Structure 1
Amino acid sequence: MKKALLVAVMAAVLTLAACGGAAETDGNVLRIGVDDAYPPMEFRNDADELVGFDVDFAHALGEELGMEVEFIPTAWDGIFTALVSGSYDVVISSVSITPDRMAEYDMTDPYLANGQVIVVRSDAQDITDPSGLAGKTVGVQIETTSHASARKYQEEFDFQLDSYDQIIQTFMDLKADRLDAIVVDGMVAAEYISSDPGSYRVTSAKLSNEPIGVCLKKGANPELLENLNNAIATLRENGRLAEISMEWLGADYTTEIDSTLW
């Protein structure tokens, strides 16, 4: 009798343990790495809530995939290292698709068109195109495609290039006259210009067109990659992607996606 009772108790314990293990390894949550200091793409509002284009896009992806989404804020300079180490499943944080990134990571189909521009103070008149950067001090966020684009022109026009951890620091130093110009994503430039009227302006046509996609660890989850591509296609076809772009960016940047920088 005692032996039978012990067997029953052990079976119950093992059943509970199995249930607990299943909960801990629930695959119905999409863990997302995000640099939460990059308005209007992903940033904290006055209530310290995570908002922006990529945030709404990620929620829309989750709905299409039938998954909950969990955002894991991570500084940009460590965001890909944390992806590879398994801290999250994907990076959704304005990740430009480049040959180097495609070789090192899995990238989805693009969901947004981006491009680099030069930003100067509103009263600056001596920089009208990349050649005007010669002899100047230019700021960029470190290890971004803005950084890569600026390096490309630095080789030709010989200017000082200062790199920053966060994009907001470049705008602060530009306004304080510690920088002569910034190379930055056009959509981000538009956000800072509209939020601080009279301080900044874009001085040239786009230096590039860059597709933006979702980034995954190389070979880690082919099924998720395929499902994400299908979800992106659905969001484009049903108009939801364009709606999110209009809401956060003021225009539809989800069509005519091309790449000329690389």
Structure 2
Amino acid sequence: MTAGSTRRTTAAHSRLAAVGAIAVAGALILTGCGDQTKNKNNSSGSSSAASAPLAGKLPASIRDKGVIRVGSDISYAPVEFKDNSGNVVGLDPDLAAAMGKQLGVKFDFQNGTFDALLTGLRSNRYDIAMSAMTDNKNRQEGVDPTTGKKVGEGVDFVDYLTAGVSIYTRKGDTKGITSWSDLCGKKVAVERGTVSEDLAKAEAKKCPSGKTLSIQAFDDNQQAETRLRSGGADAVSADFPVAAYAVKTSGGGKDFQIVGGQVEAAPYGIAVAKSNTQLRDALQAALNAVIKSGEYEKILQKWGAQDGAVKESVINGGK
């Protein structure tokens, strides 16, 4: 999942709360994503604005277009990814589809690298960013978590899930790793701009002399996992729902294993420009309607994320 990007983030990113043992169902096939592509089958929501109960809450410009442009790193199963037919699927697209019914618009997921999503939002390339992004103060304020310097306008978050960060290794080859401190002297692969990268950088500063923590940062988590499979890294860190899904599905469950417990529990949020309070509030109203209807719970159960459920959506609940 950068100052705008748990995934996505800790001191600034990983999406993440202690989501209990997730049992991800279904053997969906992960495929690569072309950079900055649109999938015409990924649009969420089918109701017209005329019949949608919350359509009137949207800004007129979006209501007239009937589309919300969503910046997302579509390579983070099971939260958002492409199936073997090229359709965008996952927890986020399903929630967006349910919200679209309330608002009378479609959510058009557009693929981008995670660490560039907030930049795309600031430049008006996207209306929102929805990508297993951790809501935290650094992102709210536009601050780079590494330097502590302001790098752009902050964003508001519409929170919708809680998740935590995990470490996973090759199955049966843990290298003695059971916690973050065990990564000293090892090589860890992470997705660039995520909380996992922030955590790794923070841990590297604690390592004793002669036991350097080597951090390998990639554009997406699939690349990090490829490095781990090949033996080029000793471990990968990602949000727990993603780690659990990879452990269950990669190599038929034979490739990876999670080591140690989750850390950095925090909310996932939909990022919206601070100037667009009307859209922010419309999204919150739609999400709360989906929660109240019971559809939210069904979607989380479908993707094995029910332990991260929230009772209601809040604005900027991240610390």
Q: Fold-level match, TM-score > 0.5? A: yes
What's the counterpart of residue 137 of structure 1?
Answer: 187
1:19-48 per-position Cα deviation (integer Å, ceiling 9, x unaligned): xxx999934321111111111111111101
State the distance in 2 between where 1:159 and 1:236 align. 42
Deviation at 1:255, TM superposition (A): 3.1
Indicate the SS of the match to 2:262.
coil
Indicate the SS of the match to 1:201.
strand
Q: Does 1:34 align with 2:89?
A: no
One-letter amino acid of the structure 2 residue matched with residue 81 of structure 1: T
For this pair of structures, how many residues does the alignment match? 238
Q: Does 1:225 align with 2:280?
A: yes
Q: Does 1:127 align with 2:177?
A: yes
What's the counterpart of residue 248 of structure 2?
Answer: 194
Displaced runs of 4+ in structure 1, greater than 4 A? 22-25
Gaps of 5+ in 1: 1-21
What's the counterpart of residue 207 of structure 1?
Answer: 263
RMSD between aligned residues: 2.3
Q: 2:141 aligns with which of 97, 103, 108?
A: 103
Contact 1:119 1:181 in 2 (8 A): yes
Whichever of the two has the greater Rg, that structure is: 1
| Residue pairs, 1:1-262, within 5 angstroms | 26-104=64-142, 105-125=154-174, 126-157=176-207, 158-196=212-250, 197-219=253-275, 221-249=276-304, 251-255=306-310
Pair 238,171 (structure 1): closer, same or farther in 2 beyond 3 Å: same
1:158-195 per-position Cα deviation (integer Å, ceiling 9, x unaligned): 41111011101111111111101111110001111111
Contact 1:108 1:215 in 2 (8 A): yes
Q: Report the TM-score when normalising by structure 2.
A: 0.70
One-letter amino acid of the structure 2 residue matched with residue 31 of structure 1: R
Deviation at 1:256, TM superposition (A): 7.8
State the distance in 1 between where 2:311 and 2:62 align. 42
94-103 or 147-156: bigger deviation: 147-156
Indicate the SS of the match to 1:26.
helix
1 or 2 for the larger relative contact order (CA 8 Å, sep ≥6)?
Answer: 2
Contact 1:108 1:228 in 2 (8 A): no
Task: State the percentage of identical aligned residues.
Answer: 27
